[in-house]
Amino acid sequence: MNTQQKIEELTKISEEIKNFKGLDIAKNSTHAVPGEGDPDAKIMCIGEAPGQVEDSTGRPFVGQSGQLMRKTLTETTGIKPEEVFITNIVKFRPPDNRDPMPNEIEACRDWLDRQIDIIRPKIICTLGRYSMAKFIPDVSISRVHGQPRFVEFLGQKYHPAAALRGTTVLNEFKQDFIKLKNMLNPVSPTQNIPEEKPVVTQPSLF
Ligand code: URA
């Protein structure tokens, strides 16, 4: 699929999401939040569900934790938010930011699967436990954050909202992004090995 075809397919999905009224959270939302970014992105960031600012703007990860995620991405990897594709498991805001419910995750599953299929990223960076559970169920995020898994390419991270709550998690969150950069640009086995210096033997003075 070329870039133009990808844009058309992603736009179709966005329109379906915006017109969907099959969940209470969809009927009650100000704006659906389908996702945004580069259709040819190598990295796809997948969060849980939109919060208040996302609901009022229709854009993913633009509230406080979203800004932290975007800033950390750029500061640690040099990658700009517009170079990745950012979306969520659930495309509508659950009231009072409650956890998404299984029927809501299920109703939004096909849209996300199609987005992944169109973009075909090298790395899927899951943000938070609901997003992680889509790919690796039954593990605890505090044990596996930052570890890459080859479940169709995955790097799972803490949710930025958790990073906002404390310095320890914030530092781990940043370290996870640094690993993300290394996954994209692996150090070649011959890189950084100092050249062997020729052995200079002092001529004998006698
Ligand atoms: N948290 C998420 O998981 N998604 C957003 O879009 C914003 C905050």
pLDDT digits (tens, 9 = 90+) for 48-75: 999 999 999 999 999 999 999 999 999 9
Judge residue 116's burial from the number of C-beta atoms within 10 Å of its C-beta, 0-12 exposed, 13-18 middle, 19 or more buried: middle
Determine the Cα–Cα distance for residues 88 and 91; give it in Å rounded to an integer. 6
* Closest atom of ligand 1 relative to the 128 alpha carbon: 3
* Confidence tier at 195 by pLDDT (50, 70, 90): very low
Question: From ligand 1's centre to the CA of 34, what distance in Å?
Answer: 12
State whether the beta carbon of 128 lies less than 6 angstroms from ligand 1.
yes
Question: From ligand 1's centre to the CA of 160, what distance in Å?
Answer: 8
Q: Confirm if 52 and 97 have CB atoms less than 8 A apart.
A: yes
Of residues 46 and 202, more confidence is placed in: 46
pLDDT value at residue 122:
86
Beta bridge partners of 174: none
State whether the beta carbon of 60 lies less than 6 angstroms from ligand 1.
yes
pLDDT value at residue 167:
86
Of residues 57 and 159, more confidence is placed in: 57
pLDDT value at residue 200:
43
* Closest atom of ligand 1 relative to the 59 alpha carbon: 6
Domain ranges of the chain: 32-184
CATH class of the domain comprising 32-184: alpha beta
Average pLDDT for residues 170-194, to the nearest whole number?
Answer: 71
Determine the Cα–Cα distance for residues 10 and 13; give it in Å rounded to an integer. 5
* Closest atom of ligand 1 relative to the 47 alpha carbon: 3
Q: How do residues 120-153 score in pLDDT, each as one tens digit? A: 998 899 999 999 999 888 888 888 887 777 654 4
Question: From ligand 1's centre to the CA of 59, what distance in Å?
Answer: 9
Q: Which of 29, 46, 54 to mutate to test the pocket of ligand 1 (most atoms within 8 A of CB)?
A: 54
State whether the beta carbon of 50 lies less than 6 angstroms from ligand 1.
yes
Q: Which of 71, 127, 164 to mutate to test the pocket of ligand 1 (most atoms within 8 A of CB)?
A: 127
Beta bridge partners of 37: 85
State whether the beta carbon of 66 lies less than 6 angstroms from ligand 1.
yes
Question: From ligand 1's centre to the CA of 66, what distance in Å?
Answer: 6
